[in-house]
């Protein structure tokens, strides 16, 4: 594989902030297309305070969350993220697969050269590992809340920005790099 291919793979695997999701909007007026009333969001204001809640109203110049009396003016919002919908069943399936593999490996290590022991251990350990993995995977998936950035407020001119985004399509494969000063 050529150097750029390995670089792309490394960036996708280890670039913690990289996602294949859409870019965030930079205009508060466009935000109404990205979030809807009742959707759970996290707002980070200019002071760094984190405010979480469900969207009650949104207008071209402000946002109101349920339970809050005051509107959040657009110019006070540095970052707005919406909760990612993540079903529990994918963690259930991944955990089940990992648990089954763990049970299989355990049965092989317990009975290395005895085929009868290996068969009995496999029947006992694989379903047990699978059940434990399914429960653990589903619980982890339900417990972890993930947010996607949908709005980035106007940047202060002294801030610098560096963004790396993967470009993957049938026609192109590569990395998009942008700098803002």
Instruction: Decide if pLDDT at 117 tops 50.
Output: yes
- 57 near 63, Cβ under 8 Å? yes
Residues contacting 84, CB < 8 A, separation 6+: 146, 147, 148
Judge residue 151's burial from the number of C-beta atoms within 10 Å of its C-beta, 0-12 exposed, 13-18 middle, 19 or more buried.
Answer: buried
Pinpoint the residues of the chain covered by CATH 2.30.30.100. Answer: 3-86+144-174
| Per-residue pLDDT reduced to its tens digit, 28-41 | 777 777 888 888 88
pLDDT in tens, 18-64: 444 445 556 777 777 788 888 888 888 888 888 888 888 888 888 88
Burial zone of 24 (CB within 10 Å; 0-12 exposed, 13-18 middle, 19+ buried): middle
**pLDDT-based confidence at 101, cuts 50/70/90?**
very high
CATH of domain 3-86+144-174: 2.30.30.100
Task: Report how far residue 88's alpha carbon sits from residue 38's, in angstroms, rounded to the nearest whole number.
Answer: 21
């Amino acid at each position: 594989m050529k150097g750029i291919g390995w670089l792309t793979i490394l960036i996708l695997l280890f670039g913690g902030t990289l996602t294949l999701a859409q870019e965030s909007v930079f205009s508060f007026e466009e935000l109404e297309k990205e979030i809807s009333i009742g959707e759970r969001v996290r707002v980070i204001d200019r002071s760094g305070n984190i405010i979480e809640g469900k969207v009650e109203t949104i207008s071209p110049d402000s946002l109101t969350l349920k339970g809050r009396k005051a509107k959040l003016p657009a110019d006070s919002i540095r970052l707005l993220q919406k909760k990612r919908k993540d079903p529990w069943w994918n963690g259930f399936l991944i955990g089940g697969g990992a648990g089954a593999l763990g049970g299989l490996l355990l049965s092989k290590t317990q009975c290395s050269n005895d085929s009868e022991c290996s068969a009995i251990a496999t029947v006992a350990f694989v379903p047990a590992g699978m059940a434990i993995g399914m429960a653990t995977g589903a619980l982890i998936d339900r417990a972890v809340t993930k947010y996607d950035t949908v709005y980035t407020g106007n940047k202060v001119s002294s801030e610098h920005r560096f963004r790396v985004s993967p470009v993957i399509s049938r026609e192109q494969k590569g990395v998009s790099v942008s700098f803002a000063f």
